[in-house]
Structure 1
Amino acid sequence: MLLLTGNLQNKEPDMGYSKEIYRLAQQELDRRRNTARDTAEKHQAEIYSAIPRIREIQKELADSGLRAVQAAIYGGPNSPQALSSLRIKNQALQMERVKLLESARLPADFLEVHYTCPKCQDTGYIINRRCECLEKLLRRFAYRQVSESGGLGECRFENFLLSYYPDIPNQDGKIPRKIMAGILNSCQEYARNFLPNGESLLFRGHTGLGKTHLSLAIAYEAIEKGYGVYYASSQRLLDKLQAKQFQRQAKEDTDYQEMAENCDLLILDDLGAEYSTNFTVAALQNLINVRLTESRPTIVSTNLNTSMLTERYGERSVSRLLCSYRAFTFCGDDIRMIKRMEH
């Protein structure tokens, strides 16, 4: 089996996971590979001390292997016979080693390097194809990143309960439960058919209506499919961008600008809750424009109505949101308050 000899940093990501996610995956692969090799070296030292003959066998096998390579390269009239003789000798040495290990009540593969993933030997790649173990690592760290930011572990479509929404008309004559059932179905369809060049969504409505829950439910499904998702509240992301811009966090390794611009799906939660400055407004406008221009989907949620958004971000930015994003208006009562009263 041919294996990639480099590392992930030399490979171009083919999905929109951030560089930070790839860095964490690389660290974990390095840790696994080093642990496997260290354990093998420890076993080797132990067995050489207990059974010196095994050290001799290992050296003889290495010498025999070198001679076999030389015979194969340089050839000669006696090359086939030499290779056959070496093969027989190697088999005999290997059998002797197995018996010595058995006498010490050790498995025949005690001296081998036991990688977590034998397929790629913990490199993450088989030739130039991403190994399944790397795919799992990328998803794990993507889950962790989103979970740390927004509680991914608790938000699924399955536990989005329509029973919290009134099934009688509100003051506008609309039935919240019916409207929210339609929004839930649309979000499920969006997640089921998600593509990294798909449409963007705008979730509008008062606090506690399930905007974050459905955003994270979509994030979960997208991550399950192997797509890179970055979730952040607008306050947190814009704070990070501003700190980076003015170098208030010189030791910060994560490139939040790159993550937000290049991930397969960006979820920008609670737009309008951040402290507004000329920088934050400009940064938001730039982020929206970049992702729209490059056809990368974004989910934006906000508690602000159109006039409040326009006052804060300007008519041009709001126009892009309303015209380029598929908008959903959430309605009902504050579910957080309902749950608090239940407990």
Structure 2
Amino acid sequence: MGYEPVVLHRAVQLLEERRKRRAAEREKAREEIYAQLPRVAEIDRELKGTVYQIIAAALKDSRDPVPAIGSVQERNLGLQAERARLLADHGWPADILDGRPACPKCNDTGWIGSQMCDCLRQLCTQEQIKELSKLLDLGEQSFDSFSLDFYSPLPWKGESLPPRENMEFIYEVCLNYAQKFGKFYFRNLFLTGAPGLGKTFLSACIARTVSERGFSVVYDTAVNIFARFEEQKFARDRLEAGEAKDETRRYLGCDLLILDDLGSELTTPFVQSALYTLVNSRLTADRQTVISSNLSMDQVRQRYTPQIASRLEGEYRVLPFYGEDIRLLRKGQL
């Protein structure tokens, strides 16, 4: 799973800032302890000296260095015990000056070999949620806060299920999709229906949950996404083209792309091509996508090419939203 460069950069910066802060705090504590307990300063100097003694003992000619090394090590352990006792007697943690890493698995580097450590992944998740919050209100939007109260339990014209029963099913699909991301039966979702029925809300819930599970998530509107593809192709200089290319890489390479409001864009031949490239590339790479749209599948067939419509119908689980506009219902309660 690959995080966006801006997310990874900020997370690495945070890790480095925390490392520097701990080093500064340790140095401050060292100054206080040495002033309060001069014997600890003496012990630390002696401990540094034992390293050279061990090296010297190992290099001595015509002598077995093992007894000398053992004697130095025994002296070293005695000094460490005295140091720990002095610190503890005066209310200091015994290991406060040892410089132990906050994360022993990676020694605060953020990496275990070529694999990202959990400590860095947690920071990436934190920064990713901040990035998503610029476009989505992730403060209150979660599966726990989703309510079915605004969906009618009464039959709905032209539909086999009442809105509430339909939304119960959609909610369960979205919840399981997010909580079992990568292992759920449905790989891609297409949320379709009129405005104000909860498509963006549930998209935000999915984004939050998948992010918290350590996957890279990119959310953007159809208008913005296709504008970036267009900038990449028609940019006037290399800088603009490079920036646009970085953006399109985000859309193609993230673990989960949430494409909001498909159909709001001006559907030109270029947009048709870009949408096909986006959908097909992510399917080929087995990367998952959630698309929300006010268009019905019939309207999708009319608006986009048969190749696009075929992939959306065949590779996406279509979830139809219907009922009364929740925004208007909430407004009426104020």
Percent same amino acid among aligned pairs? 36
CA distance in 1, matches of 2:267, 2:327: 26
Q: Quote the offset at 1:264 in angstroms.
A: 1.5
Q: Is 2:148 the counterpart of 1:157? A: no
1:59 aligns with 2:45: yes
Indicate the residue corresponding to 2:5 in structure 1.
Answer: 19
One-letter amino acid of the structure 2 residue matched with residue 194 of structure 1 = F
Give runs of aligned pairs for residues 2-151 of structure 1, distance below 5 A.
15-45=1-31, 47=33, 54-69=40-55, 71-72=57-58, 77-95=63-81, 97-98=83-84, 101=87, 106-113=92-99, 115-126=101-112, 130-151=116-137
**Cα separation, 1, equivalents of 2:286 and 2:59:** 54
- What SS does the aligned partner of 1:230 have? strand
Paired position in structure 1 for 2:206: 218
What runs of 5+ residues in structure 2 fail to find an aligned partner? Answer: none
Matched, 1:296 2:296: no
**Stretches of structure 1 lacking an aligned partner (at least 5 in a row):** 1-14
Separation in structure 2 between the aligned mates of residue 76 and residue 137 of structure 1, nearest angstrom:
55
Query: Normalized against structure 2, the TM-score is what?
Result: 0.82
Listed as ranges, the matches of 1:146-225 within 5 Å are: 146-172=132-158, 174=160, 175-195=162-182, 199-225=187-213
Offset, 1:320: 2.2
Preserved CA contact (<8 Å) 2:152 2:163: yes
**Secondary structure of the structure 2 residue equivalent to 1:204:** strand
Q: Tell me how far 1:317 sits from its aligned partner.
A: 2.1
Distance 1:70 1:127, change over 3 A: farther
Q: For 1:254 and 1:220, locate their aligned partners in 2 and report how far apart those are by CA, in whole Å.
A: 26
- 1:271 alignment partner in structure 2: 262
Partners in 2 of 1:169 and 1:285 — Cα distance?
Answer: 37
Question: Within 1, Cα distance between the matches of 2:291 and 2:271?
Answer: 15
Mean Cα deviation higher: 77-86 or 49-58 = 49-58
User: Structure 1 residues 253 and 288, CA, compared in 2 at 3 Å: closer, same or farther?
Assistant: closer
CA distance, structure 1, for counterparts of residue 198 and residue 27 of structure 2: 54
Residues 274, 25 of structure 1: alpha-carbon distance in 2 compared, 3 angstrom cutoff: same
CA distance in 1: counterparts of 2:219 and 2:30, whole angstroms: 47
Q: CA deviation at 1:231?
A: 1.6
RMSD of Structure 2 on Structure 1 (CA):
3.3
Tell me: CA distance 1:298–1:242, structure 2 relative to 1, closer, same or farther (3 Å): same
The 1:101–1:295 alpha-carbon spacing in structure 2 relative to 1, beyond 3 Å, is: closer
1:268 deviation in Å? Answer: 0.6
Cα separation, partners in 2 of 1:269 and 1:48, compared to 1, 3 Å: same
Report the CA distance shift for 1:182/1:273 in structure 2 as closer, same or farther (over 3 A).
Answer: same
After superposition, residues 279-318 of structure 1 pair within 5 angstroms as 279-306=270-297, 308-310=299-301, 312-318=303-309
